């Protein structure tokens, strides 16, 4: 925000609040989201393992490179050295892309994989929090939570997880974290489980947006963060008891969004 770099980015989303912008943003997101879901579902059904792996790896590498370029460019602008050191963006973006490919194909230590992917997940979520207005983020979080419930129990993610188990077996790495091949890099090893990178993106998006909108508030951000953490804890407790995949979006989103709305109503 301080660099002003976001003003130069062409986004398909509308930053203003209101019913029309909300509908526009939801439809825009759906236009990008639905075809990808359908494609992955078809590839999983046809068991195109190599194609799925390459698509996931390319997506991860592109995202790592894009977000690195964005943040580093913004930093150079803030430090007033962009004209002299602009080439650093390309160098570090390339390193980030190679890092994503390395993590996707190489079984690295869990802490290393988790720290890298978690950092990039938070960075992506914060970026989208700057592109979308608050109520669009709230609506998207709730809608994705509903999709997450369906996808994990009945839909594409259920089939993808089953295919993953067939490939790697039911073994574990480290201290009990499930192994991964297709979803390595797309999921993050955390407390003996694997959490989707997309879940981290949405958690961060809610928290960052809570801080910024309608005006900067550390208290509101802290309350929302507490809601995400509590929801994640409850989800992990249920997962521990049931011993099978659980959607990581619904409970954290519902609790954090509820606390966020209450905080705004109270003027915090």
pLDDT in tens, 154-168: 888 888 888 888 888
Contact between residue 253 and residue 142 where contact means Cβ atoms under 8 Å apart: yes
Contact between residue 173 and residue 107 where contact means Cβ atoms under 8 Å apart: yes
DSSP E strands in the chain: the ranges are: 172-173, 177-178, 187-190, 193-196
pLDDT at 208: 94
What is the pLDDT averaged over residues 6-14? Answer: 84
Given a cut of 80, whether residue 244 has pLDDT beyond it is: no
Give the separation between CA 63 and CA 66, rounded to whole angstroms.
5
Given a cut of 50, whether residue 137 has pLDDT beyond it is: yes
Nearest to 222 by CA among 233, 235, 213, 211: 211
Given a cut of 70, whether residue 173 has pLDDT beyond it is: no
pLDDT at 23: 94
Q: Are strands 187-190 and 172-173 parallel, antiparallel or unpaired?
A: unpaired
Q: Which two tokens stand for residue 2?
A: 């301080």
pLDDT at 170: 57
Running DSSP on this structure, what letter comes out for residue 8?
G
Query: pLDDT above 90 covers what percent of the chain?
Result: 61
Contact between residue 134 and residue 211 where contact means Cβ atoms under 8 Å apart: no
> Residue with structure tokens 């709305």?
261
Between 243 and 198, residue with greater pLDDT: 198
Given a cut of 70, whether residue 12 has pLDDT beyond it is: yes
Tens digit of pLDDT for each residue in 217-231? 999 999 999 999 999
Contact between residue 175 and residue 218 where contact means Cβ atoms under 8 Å apart: no
The crossing angle, in degrees rounded to 10, of helices 19-45 and 134-153 is: 20
pLDDT at 194: 87
pLDDT-derived band at 143, boundaries 50, 70, 90 = very high
Give the separation between CA 118 and CA 195, rounded to whole angstroms.
10
Give the separation between CA 144 and CA 122, rounded to whole angstroms.
17
pLDDT-derived band at 176, boundaries 50, 70, 90 = low
Tens digit of pLDDT for each residue in 40-95? 999 999 999 999 999 999 999 999 999 999 999 999 999 999 888 889 989 999 99
Q: SS3 of 135, please?
A: helix
Contact between residue 115 and residue 197 where contact means Cβ atoms under 8 Å apart: no
What is the pLDDT averaged over residues 107-132? Answer: 92
Given a cut of 70, whether residue 174 has pLDDT beyond it is: no
The 3-state secondary structure of 147-213 reads HHHHHHHCCHHHHHHHHHHHHHCCCEECCCEECCCCCECCEEEECCEEEEHHHHHHHHHHHHHHHHC
pLDDT at 31: 93
């Amino acid at each position: 925000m301080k660099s002003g770099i976001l003003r130069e980015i062409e986004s398909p989303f509308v930053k203003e609040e209101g019913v029309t912008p909300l509908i526009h943003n939801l439809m825009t997101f759906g236009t990008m989201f639905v075809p990808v879901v359908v494609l992955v579902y078809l590839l999983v059904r046809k068991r195109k393992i190599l194609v799925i792996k390459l698509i996931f790896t390319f997506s991860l590498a592109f995202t790592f490179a894009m977000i690195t370029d964005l943040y580093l460019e913004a930093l150079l602008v803030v430090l007033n050295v962009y004209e002299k050191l602009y080439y650093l963006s390309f160098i570090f973006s390339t390193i980030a892309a190679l890092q994503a490919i390395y993590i996707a194909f190489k079984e690295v230590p869990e802490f290393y994989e988790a720290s890298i992917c978690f950092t990039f997940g938070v960075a992506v979520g914060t970026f989208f929090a700057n592109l979308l207005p608050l109520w669009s983020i709230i609506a998207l979080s709730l809608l994705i939570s509903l999709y997450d419930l369906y996808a994990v129990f009945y839909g594409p993610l259920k089939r993808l997880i089953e295919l993953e188990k067939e490939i790697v077996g039911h073994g574990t790495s480290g201290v009990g974290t499930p192994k991964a091949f297709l979803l390595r890099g797309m999921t993050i090893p955390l407390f003996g489980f694997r959490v989707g990178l997309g879940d981290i993106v949405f958690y961060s998006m809610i928290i960052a947006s809570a801080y910024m909108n309608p005006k900067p508030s550390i208290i509101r951000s802290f309350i929302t963060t507490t809601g995400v953490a509590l929801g994640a804890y409850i989800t992990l407790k249920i997962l521990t008891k049931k011993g099978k995949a659980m959607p990581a979006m619904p409970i954290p989103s519902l609790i954090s969004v509820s606390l966020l709305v209450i905080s705004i109503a109270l003027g915090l």
